[in-house]
Amino acid sequence: MTGPVGGYLQCRVTYNKNNILSILFTTPKIYYRTYDTKTVQNREKWAEVCKYCRVSPLNSVIAETGLTAEVNDLQYAMTFDLTTGKRLTIDHFMGNNSQGKVDELLAAEGNHLHLDKENFYVEDQKQLTVLVEQQGPEWDRKRVKLSSLVTKYF
């Protein structure tokens, strides 16, 4: 993983049964992390940082050598099928036609939520939690339970 995690990365296996492995990565919030300008300007590198870590808007006034984010919040999950070695999406557990129901549950949680179908973890039977990004002033990742939509046994 890339990003401003330093030695604070915590990794927890949330599920490891029936050929399903689910891992949750977190760090405490990191305040005032400066990114060098080359990293921010490189679209590929910056996309990798932002995939795993929620970065507040960058400020060039605070640091002379780069751009500073007031808050960095890493909360990311990965779930794998150990039989195939492939990374799973929530569709594996809920089916491809569940998007409307997912949208309804997210709307009930609040406005401006963005879902990445790979950023979720599973726990005991039928417990599925997605980490969604909140757009707007409260930009942290939010944990939303989608367990009621799970249709596949694991």
- Rounded distance, CA 17 to CA 23, Å? 12
In a domain, 3, yes or no: no
In a domain, 113, yes or no: yes
In a domain, 5, yes or no: no
Q: Which two structure tokens, joined as six digits, stand for 131? A: 């980490």
In this prediction, residue 2 has a pLDDT band, given cuts at 50, 70 and 90, of very low
Tell me the sheet residues that pair with 22. Answer: 15, 79
Where helices occur in 75-131 by DSSP H, the ranges are 91-94, 99-109
In a domain, 154, yes or no: no
- pLDDT, tens digit, 9 for 90 and up, residues 41-65: 888 888 878 777 778 778 777 666 7
Ramachandran bin of 6, using left for φ above 0, alpha for ψ from -120 to 50, beta for the remaining angles: left
Residue 120 has pLDDT above 90, yes or no: yes
In a domain, 2, yes or no: no
In this prediction, residue 151 has a pLDDT band, given cuts at 50, 70 and 90, of confident
- pLDDT, tens digit, 9 for 90 and up, residues 9-24: 788 999 999 999 999 9
Q: Please enumerate in sequence order all residues whose Cβ is within 8 A of that of 45, keeping only pairs 6 or more positions apart, or say none.
A: 2, 39
Provide the pLDDT for residue 64: 67
Please, what's the b/e burial string for 8-33 (b: 16 or more CB within 10 A of its CB; e: otherwise)? eeeeeebbeeeebbbbbbbbebbeeb
Give the residue numbers spanning the domain of 35.
Answer: 10-149
In a domain, 97, yes or no: yes
Q: How many domains does the chain have?
A: 1
pTM: 0.77
In a domain, 43, yes or no: yes
CB 90 within 8 A of CB 130: yes
